[in-house]
């Protein structure tokens, strides 16, 4: 028995995208912390805001605007790349073959 | 006594379907105790974000399930860790607005025993209370021993826990 929460595809796509953007920023900060010792305070100084703002934005307690994403990317020495990739629908391998009655008439 | 799979067949545990993308594989698994299903089905969609952020608790839950089950790195910094040990093998998985309490009967397999809003858990300091309640439910479950992985090290309970 399995259970799937009820969420609209629209809300699911939006929630997962927001989560992905935030995680990419967290990952970049971790990489820059290893490379050059960058901290949240350093990041905040670079873009001219209080450290608590950066902390709340990266923890998901405050929304990230598109321009803030670009500012953070800049301060992290990164360039954000935005791409809209066409959705691919995968047919399950175990799908039954359509029977004669339901098959399209050629 | 039964295995996790046998308990799932009996309906004593319910596997949560993370609805992964076509290019994602399920590396980690989440089960829930059946009493949580009405909460997931009817209450979770009504929760509002205490932070008033654009992602609702329902969206946060869905995104957490996707990240957890697809086996992605769980944490990149101690400031952003979504998995914390409470006590006695009870762990907390979290989003900005939700707290999920459960245990790991085996690595990469989380059994959720309780869920609440972060606001309520923090404002009433319910961490230990929920940990005790979930530990009690774990003991009641006819699960093979050892019922959970002991210890506080997240690397013992999940693979790919943190950023190398």
The tens digit of pLDDT for each residue in B97-133 reads: 999 999 999 999 999 999 999 999 999 999 999 999 9
Looking at residues B53-63, what average pLDDT do you find? 98
What local confidence, expressed as pLDDT, does residue A91 receive?
Answer: 67
**Residue B39 maps to a domain:** yes
B87 touches chain A (CB under 8 A): no
What local confidence, expressed as pLDDT, does residue A90 receive?
Answer: 67
**Residue among A4, A5, A30 whose CB faces B58 most closely:** A5
- Distance CA(B126)–CA(B132), nearest Å, equals 10
Domains assigned to chain A: 9-75 (1.10.260)
Domain count, chain B: 1
Stretch among B12-26, B71-85, B86-100 having the lowest mean pLDDT: B71-85
pTM: 0.92
Calculate the alpha carbon distances from A94 to A46, A91, A102, B17, B150 in Å: 53, 9, 17, 18, 39
The reply to whether residue B40 touches residue A12, judged by beta carbons under 8 angstroms, is: no
The tens digit of pLDDT for each residue in B32-50 reads: 999 999 999 999 999 999 9
What local confidence, expressed as pLDDT, does residue A100 receive?
Answer: 47
Q: Dig out the tokens for A47 from the structure.
A: 């873009």
What local confidence, expressed as pLDDT, does residue B23 receive?
Answer: 87
ipTM field: 0.94
Task: Extract the residue ranges of chain A whose pLDDT is less than 50.
Answer: 98-106
**Residue B153 maps to a domain:** no
**Residue among B37, B51, B58 whose CB faces A62 most closely:** B51
Whether the CB-CB separation of A50 and A57 falls below 8 Å is answered with no
Q: Dig out the tokens for A43 from the structure.
A: 């990041």
Tokens 């990149």 correspond to what residue? B76
Distance of CA A55 to the CA centre of its chain: 17
**Residue B164 maps to a domain:** no
Host domain of residue B128: 4-14+26-147
**Residue B106 maps to a domain:** yes
* A105 Cα to chain B: minimum distance (Å): 30
* A36 Cα to chain B: minimum distance (Å): 15
Q: What CATH number does residue B41 fall under?
A: 3.30.2310.20
**Residue B88 maps to a domain:** yes
**Residue B33 maps to a domain:** yes
Alpha helices in chain B (DSSP H): 4-10, 37-38, 57-69, 118-123, 127-140, 154-157
């Amino acid at each position: 028995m399995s259970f799937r929460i009820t969420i609209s595809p629209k809300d699911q796509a939006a929630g997962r995208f927001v989560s992905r953007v935030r995680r990419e920023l967290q990952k970049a900060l971790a990489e820059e912390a290893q490379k050059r010792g960058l901290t949240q305070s350093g990041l905040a100084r670079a873009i001219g805001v209080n450290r608590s703002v950066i902390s709340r934005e990266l923890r998901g307690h405050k929304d990230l605007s598109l321009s803030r994403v670009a500012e953070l990317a800049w301060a992290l020495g990164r360039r954000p790349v935005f791409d809209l990739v066409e959705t691919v629908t995968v047919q399950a391998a175990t799908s039954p073959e359509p029977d004669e009655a339901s098959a399209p008439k050629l | 006594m039964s295995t996790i799979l046998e308990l799932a067949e009996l309906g004593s545990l319910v596997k949560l379907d993370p609805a992964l993308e076509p290019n994602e594989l399920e590396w980690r698994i989440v089960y829930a105790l059946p009493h949580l299903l009405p909460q997931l089905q009817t209450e979770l969609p009504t929760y509002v974000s205490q932070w008033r952020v654009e992602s609702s608790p329902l969206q946060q839950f869905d995104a957490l399930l996707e990240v957890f089950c697809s086996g992605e790195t769980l944490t990149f910094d101690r400031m952003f860790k979504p998995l914390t040990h409470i006590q006695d093998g009870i762990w907390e998985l979290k989003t900005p607005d939700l707290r999920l309490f459960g245990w790991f009967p085996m690595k990469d397999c989380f059994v959720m025993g309780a869920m609440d809003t972060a606001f309520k858990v923090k404002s009433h300091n319910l961490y230990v209370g929920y940990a005790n309640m979930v530990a009690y439910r774990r003991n009641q479950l006819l699960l093979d021993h050892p019922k959970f992985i002991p210890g506080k090290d997240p690397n013992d309970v999940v693979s790919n826990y943190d950023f190398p």
